[in-house]
Amino acid sequence: MFGKKEHTGWAIRNWWLHFEIAQSRRARYTAWFACPNKHDGKGWRRLARHEANQDGSILCAFYLMCEIASKMPVRGLLADEDGPLTSLDMSDATGYAAGMFETAFPILSAPQILWLEHITPALRADYEREQSGLGVCSTTDKQTDKQADRGGRPARVYPRDLLIVKSNIEQERTELFEKRSFQHTGNRTKYSADWSKWQQLGQELKRVQEKLTNMSGLL
């Protein structure tokens, strides 16, 4: 029956591994999602051969679910403030038939494909932890951010933003250190410039870490 609620609801499996990138992790809310473009995975090939997907409807349903999941309160979970989304909910959101989603659920969650999985308390906790600091915030927070932008005040900083900055600095320091090691017996001027940059990045890294420590209650 269309619209019948699943017991726990569905999640896009490994959402944070496959469908989030640096740019999307900086966003508090998005109007797009990052989609892998590989076609040689086992799940992809098995779905391509599946008799129910010969018209591409199951793949279409999956991509529509991903679009929906990218806009949910916890990204990657097909659930909103009212609970798990039903096939009818997805139909209302996309304009596609509820029956297409109903047919897709068991196929996409089968062990041979496993692109969907049931939401469990542990899975929800993992997804919420991944999302922590993204800034996917309440309507009040969004309005506050917009007002700050209009008023010229600094935009709020979220822990996830700082973690991305921290990772980028650490990567640049590693690359510079490797270059410095190779250049130790080479160009002394370039060596000194790299060494100075490495020290400056160290100071930046220290400041970012201090901010993260102060915001530890939000992580």
Domain boundary pick from 123, 146, 169 = 146
**Domain region containing 128:** 10-146
pLDDT value for 136: 39
Nearest alpha-carbon partner for 28 in 73, 68, 93? 73
Domain boundary pick from 124, 146, 168 = 146
Asked if residue 108 is part of any domain, the answer here is: yes
Domain boundary pick from 91, 117, 146 = 146
Mean pLDDT of 147-154: 44
pLDDT tens-digit readout, 166-207: 777 777 777 777 766 555 555 555 666 677 777 888 888 888
Asked if residue 69 is part of any domain, the answer here is: yes
- For residues 16 and 25, give the distance between their C-alpha atoms in angstroms, rounded to a whole number: 9
pLDDT at 161 over 90: no
pLDDT at 5 over 80: no
- For residues 17 and 26, give the distance between their C-alpha atoms in angstroms, rounded to a whole number: 15
Asked if residue 2 is part of any domain, the answer here is: no
| Contact between residue 21 and residue 34 where contact means Cβ atoms under 8 Å apart | yes
Q: Could you tell me what percentage of the chain is helix, strand and coil, using 3-state DSSP and rounding each to the nearest 5?
A: 60, 5, 35
Query: b/e for 16-50, b at 16 or more Cβ within 10 A?
Result: bebbbeeebbebbebeebbeeeeeeeeeeeebeeb
- Token couple for 91: 């139909």
One domain for residues 132 and 167 = no
The average confidence (pLDDT) of the chain is 79
- Token couple for 57: 């409807």
Nearest alpha-carbon partner for 79 in 12, 167, 173? 12
pLDDT at 56 over 60: yes
pLDDT value for 196: 78
pTM over 0.75: no
pLDDT at 129 over 60: yes
Name the band, by pLDDT with cuts 50, 70 and 90, for residue 30.
confident
One domain for residues 136 and 175 = no
One domain for residues 95 and 197 = no
Would you tell me how many other CB atoms lie within 10 Å of the CB of residue 8? 16
